[in-house]
Amino acid sequence: MATREIISTGNELSAIAGVDAGCEFFGGYPLTPSSEIMHVISDLLPAQDGACIQMEDEIGAICAVIGAGMAGVRTMTGTSGPGMSLKAENLGLAQMAEVPLVCVNVMRGGPSTGLPTRVSQGDVKQASNPSHGDYRSITLCAGNLSECYTEVVRAFNIADRFMQPVIVLTDETIGHMHGKAILPTLEEVKAGIVPRKTFDGPAEEYFPYECGPTEPATLNPMFKGYRYHYTGLHHDKNGFPTEEIETCRKLIQRLEDKVMAHQDELELNEEFMLDDFTGAEDEVLIIAYGSVSLAAKEAIRDLRKDGIKAGLFRPITLWPSPAKRIKELTDKTKNVLVVELNIRQYTDEIERASGRLDIEGLYKVNGRAIAPHEIIAKVKEVF
């Protein structure tokens, strides 16, 4: 397969990915450590007949992005934890109205202002339910520079397939890391673009929210000859508000089922040095994601040199959770260590999926990265 090499940062690659994936509009507000995404895309989009606008705040930014999504274009925003908090209400609107968009969250320390220039993975739980109500969030997590590109590209296709927001998590370390990324060719990216489904029949037969119980809405772009209604209220097949009991129940159940019934399309994991695991008592399964997985891989190589058989499971799609695979791996591995730049935010999900309460954890919340030697020391201490 043909590839290309780019020397860049994670934030810059996220911006480039958006443009390559067909993004035509970016609405944002500068927020450390994500600001470079908007800086870069503000130069790239106009050259492609797209538009980038800096709004007065993060609320205005997500509103502008939703409006562009309603108009039928691929649309994107970038932010960090406090910005996600401000975007929360309108992310819920996009879930209810089924407007596709991509939101890149470059995580930093929190809560509140926290550690603006330092690394964290403190937004993992927030990403599973960024707004109130019943729905299923789709959240991807880049673990290296190349994935800052490829996961953003994937997010756009997923957003149009499932007609909802897709969150891509990176973090300060990987967002500002500068190095070589191996990317698919632009031709391959363009060939893989899957446009959203549209209706092309008589206008009187078009009902955007009339669809199968596990399928997304079919929303034709506004201003293209089809009229319907957008609302954050429970709505009928035309999008108009309703409180009819069965209509409301089916709508909310569909927002759940349109994701969970197709989880096989979404789940993506990496398994590093697990091929030789046999279920032996001394094997060590390390679970990590995002930039932490880079340190985990280095630690695993050194642990194996010391005679300790260790391997890594890395979820790339964090939500919906790869619960089945987590259960399979933890059932056959006695020693499990979860490494996170937060306090148990994904460990709780590992425990739920595995049914185990003996999962060990290594956590850090002082804004500094976890080093390989810290993982090695923890493995030797607890196992």
* pLDDT level of residue 1 (50, 70, 90 thresholds): low
pLDDT at 2: 81
- Which domain range does residue 301 map to? 269-382
Q: Please, are residues 340 and 121 in contact by the beta-carbon 8 Å criterion?
A: yes
Q: pLDDT tens digit string along 105-116?
A: 999 999 999 999
Q: Based on the fold, state whether residues 187 and 288 are members of the same structural domain.
A: no
**Which CATH number do you get for residue 162?**
3.40.50.970
68 is a domain residue: yes
Q: Is the dihedral of CA 287, 165, 119, 290 positive or negative?
A: positive
Q: Is 306 exposed, middle or buried (0-12, 13-18, 19+ CB in 10 A)?
A: exposed
**Average pLDDT taken over every residue of the chain:** 97
Q: 348 to each of 91, 130, 299, 343, 367, how far by Cα in Å?
A: 24, 17, 23, 10, 21
Cis status, amide bond into 320, omega within 30 of 0 = yes
Q: Based on the fold, state whether residues 20 and 113 are members of the same structural domain.
A: yes
Q: Based on the fold, state whether residues 16 and 160 are members of the same structural domain.
A: yes
pLDDT at 194: 87
Q: Based on the fold, state whether residues 176 and 303 are members of the same structural domain.
A: no
Q: pLDDT tens digit string along 195-253?
A: 899 999 999 999 999 999 999 999 999 888 898 999 999 999 999 999 999 999 999 99
**Which CATH number do you get for residue 296?**
3.40.50.920
- Residues with Cβ within 8 Å of 328's Cβ and at least 6 positions away in sequence, in order, are none
Q: What is the mean pLDDT of residues 298-303?
A: 98
Q: Identify the domain boundary among 167, 191, 215.
A: 191
Q: Beta strand pairing status for 178-184 and 3-9? A: antiparallel
Q: Identify the domain boundary among 164, 191, 218.
A: 191
237 is a domain residue: no
Q: pLDDT tens digit string along 337-375?
A: 999 999 999 999 999 999 999 999 999 999 999 999 999
Q: Identify the domain boundary among 191, 220, 251.
A: 191
230 is a domain residue: no
Instruction: Report the percent of the chain where pLDDT is more than 90.
Output: 98
pLDDT at 224: 86
55 is a domain residue: yes
